[in-house]
Structure 1
Amino acid sequence: MDKFIVIDGLDGAGKDTQVKLLAEMYEKQGKNVVVRSHPCKDNKYGIKSKEALLKTGKINHLKATVYFGLDAIRSFRKYYYNDNIDVLIFSRYIMAVVYLPNVINVIIYKFVSFILPTSEYMFFLDVSPE
């Protein structure tokens, strides 16, 4: 793989827009591009994460974060070492921890960002949706 790109940010920050633009650019260069937008709809972890995100309450926020992490790890393991992929783009990779209560989210963010590999091409979008 030539590039592993991570675009992270809160809801409405423009992650999908940036991912689409990057993917199109690399595809025009003839690169084989795979995009993983978490939570993903193609596996049980992503589906359970999305279900929990749509509910309220602390337990659902915790479930969403745990399943989200499993979804991201699954994507990483499945696609990162694939020799047929030139560019792997992950959207929303570590940011699920933002749904956890304050203080805990900082601790879990540091832990998750230590476990999950980062990229030299890692962007955090911090803009207002307006």
Structure 2
Amino acid sequence: MKFIVIDGLDGSGKDTQINLLAKYYRNKGKNVVVRSHPCDDNKYGRKSRQALQKTGKINHIKATIYFGMDAIRSVRKYSHDDSIDVLIFSRYILAVMYLPSVVNTITYKLVCFLLPTSDTMFFLDVDPEESLRRISSRDEEIEMFENIESLTKNRENSKKFTYNWNVIDGNQSIEEINRQIINKCIECD
């Protein structure tokens, strides 16, 4: 099974890219499963999303913990299914960047040890201002981390963890980002 992760700040184009990538592999006759966290098909994902739409430290912690449980559930349910050719995760282990500084580094190392990783993990690095512009253009409720201060802080935090990721400039065109992702996936086949 090919395991692909696309992560980045809100508004970086993760969902756009996973949909394009899923289409690419389906056109090649592959059985593709996409998991975009937090997922709405289980209680952990729904509780994470509910907490994200509130404010405060308790909801911050709840959102992160439930998000982690949602991602772990997806790994357990799908990563050993032999009928799946390509498993694509949007938002995965980089959610640890939302935790306090000391805790997030330890948690990241632990999570990388316990959960699957691959050579096809992509971080879409978008400027916080561009991220906020894209978020504002959507017709969705704003989440707790979708403000310039949080986006700037989380982009900085992400640099501690993306040393073993394929970092792609998320400010580029959708087509150019997709070309780079597909080329790396082909290279890793």
Above 0.5 in TM-score? yes
Gaps of 5+ in 2: 134-189
SS at match of 1:103: helix
* Bigger mean CA offset, 89-98 vs 75-84: 89-98
Q: Which residue of 1 aligns with 2:103?
A: 104
- Compare the two structures and name the one with the higher helix fraction: 2
**Contact 1:6 1:121 (8 Å CA) reproduced:** yes
Q: Which residue of 2 aligns with 1:83?
A: 82
Gaps of 5+ in 1: none
* Offset of residue 114 of structure 1: 2.4
* Offset of residue 103 of structure 1: 3.1
TM-score by length of structure 2 reads 0.64
Give 1:41-80 correspondences, 5 Å limit: 41-80=40-79
Rg larger for:
2
**Contact 1:64 1:96 (8 Å CA) reproduced:** no
**Contact 1:10 1:95 (8 Å CA) reproduced:** no
TM-score by length of structure 1 reads 0.92
| Greater RCO, CA 8 A, separation 6+ | 1
Give 1:114-129 correspondences, 5 Å limit: 114-128=113-127, 129=131
RMSD, aligned α-carbons? 1.3
Give 1:4-15 correspondences, 5 Å limit: 4-15=3-14
Amino acid in structure 1 at the alignment position of 2:97:
V
Identity among equivalent positions (%) equals 73
